[in-house]
Amino acid sequence: MTSHLKQSKRSIPLRIKNSITSELKNYFDGEIEIKERWVDSLSPGVGLCLWTRSNKGALISSGTLLGERNLSSERLSKIAVNRLLKYLKKDIPVDNYLSDQLVPLLSYIKKPSTIKVLEITNHTKTNLEIFSKFNKRSYEIKKVENAFLINFF
């Protein structure tokens, strides 16, 4: 797992790392490795983005979460971990931040294609409509047990 952090106070990232590790131990056996990557930012606050690979090799993101007043580092960590676990527990390989970006690519593939997503975002809906007009490609959204399938024909 990789976490991208920006923070001037060095104690906060350590608390975040410890909290992430603690949360993940509730769901996974064995050793948990967390790599930190520090980034420069004009903001003095905490920014946290978790990335991990699913058991099928898909790269999944929590999306970027920003610290706020009265939101502890531990709570921020728990929110990020829970976002990742939604995808991992339901075996969903495409996160909400990637689904809308795949639509343009998949809409130009000549063969039928399918992606599995946790939810259909407004960005995804917009891209589906726009690209169906450009290339006359049809699609359907099908609700399955714990996710949605977007099928391109």
Q: What is the DSSP string of 83-144?
A: HHHHHHHTT--B-HHHHHHHHHHHHT-SS-EEEEES---HHHHHHHHHHHHHH---EEEEEE
Distance, CA of 128 to CA of 113 (rounded, Å): 13
Closest listed residue to residue 151, CA positions, set 79, 102, 89:
102
Q: Are strands 35-38 and 2-6 parallel, antiparallel or unpaired?
A: parallel
List 5, 86, 123, 151, catalytic entry: 123
Q: Which two tokens stand for residue 136?
A: 């006359």
Closest listed residue to residue 80, CA positions, set 99, 101, 93, 66:
66
Longest dimension (CA), the chain: 54
Spell out the per-residue pLDDT of the chain, length 153, in tens. Answer: 655 555 555 667 788 888 999 988 888 877 888 877 777 777 777 788 888 888 888 899 998 898 888 999 899 999 999 999 999 999 999 988 899 999 999 998 989 999 999 999 999 999 999 999 988 889 999 999 999 999 999
4 carries an active-site annotation: no
Q: Say what the pLDDT of residue 125 is.
A: 97
Q: Say what the pLDDT of residue 56 is.
A: 84
- Give this prediction's pTM: 0.79
Q: Say what the pLDDT of residue 13 is.
A: 75
CATH number of 2-89: 3.30.360.20
Contact status, residue 73 vs residue 12, Cβ threshold 8 Å: yes
List the domain boundaries for the chain. 2-89, 96-152
Q: Say what the pLDDT of residue 48 is.
A: 86
